[in-house]
Homo-oligomer: A and B are copies of this chain.
Amino acid sequence: MQNTACQLLVVGSIGIDTVETPAERRVEILGGSASFACVAASYFAPTAMVGVVGTDFPEAYMDLYRRSGIDLQGLQIQEGQTFRWSGVYEENMDCRTTLSTDLNVFESFSPEIPENYRDIPYLFLGNIQPALQLHVLDQIRKPEFVMVDTMDLWINIAREDLLRVIARVDLLTVNDSEARLLTGASNLRKAARELLQMGPRYVLIKKGEHGSVLFSKDSVFILPAYLLENVVDPTGAGDTFAGAFMGALAEKKATDERSLRQAMLLGNVVASFGVEGFSLDRLQALSREEITERADLLRAMMAV
């Protein structure tokens, strides 16, 4: 029996991060692709999370998920420590260095999709090992729209599995350097064309503070990013974008290109709020009115 409430399923990592920016250092804060994506999506559609945490996972973070109304039936709690990540940002916030990665319980994670999640129409496969993404795809039934994210690590060490994933999804999202790494093409438009030939209907290339570009076989949509005056912590911006984007599609129950463009604008706006605070500090405290207001501002910034 399908869970009638949930419209979006998110599978990804859950981590406890230590983040250092030029201004401040924060230890043991909530992170992970599933955390950012689910909370961002929750403003638009009922969302279910599949991921793993250790027995050390703070109850306060569990409460944060619950306050956002996230369905946690698929959240596994394993004996051991939660995944840990730490990194440091350079002056411009456009480069970061990973200081440490401890997989902990994430090392043996196998995403098991509860029976009543398997008919959820929208699926976001956050950045995890491609073999695990394939395992998710094998469990779900006739999804309406599947978006997948990945990273340079998997392109380098699990390319074959990744290509299998890409061939089975509707939308692949990567950043510009990953697009070049995957294809060998240094020009973005050429890279996108090669990625589209790998199977997905859409390729969404993220360019950080410079916005994002959506490619289909016969169209290009360029969305500049909302220009912020204060970026506090860019961690999770891409996952926040993806979560809000998929949430907006799930809310509208539409996947035509116009809807995708509007969902990207909302994703961009929600991500712009997210980076104004550390972790999910700002992201969890939004109102739909704030999102609409900033979306109108961004539209005005783009009007010719």
Contacts and interface: CB of A to CB of B under 8 A. Distances in A.
Interface residues of A, number: 31
A185 to B, nearest CB: 10
Contacts of A189: 227-229
Contacts of A186: 91-92
Nearest to A222: B224
A300 to B, nearest CB: 8
A66 interface: no
Contact of A187 (B229, B262, B304): B229
A220 interface: yes
A213 B261 CA distance: 21
Number of copies: 2
Query: DSSP majority for the A interface?
Result: mixed
Nearest to A300: B219
A301 interface: yes
A211 B262 CA distance: 21
17 contacts: A187-B228, A187-B230, A189-B227, A189-B228, A190-B229, A210-B211, A211-B222, A220-B227, A221-B301, A222-B227, A222-B302, A223-B224, A223-B304, A224-B224, A261-B304, A302-B302, A302-B304
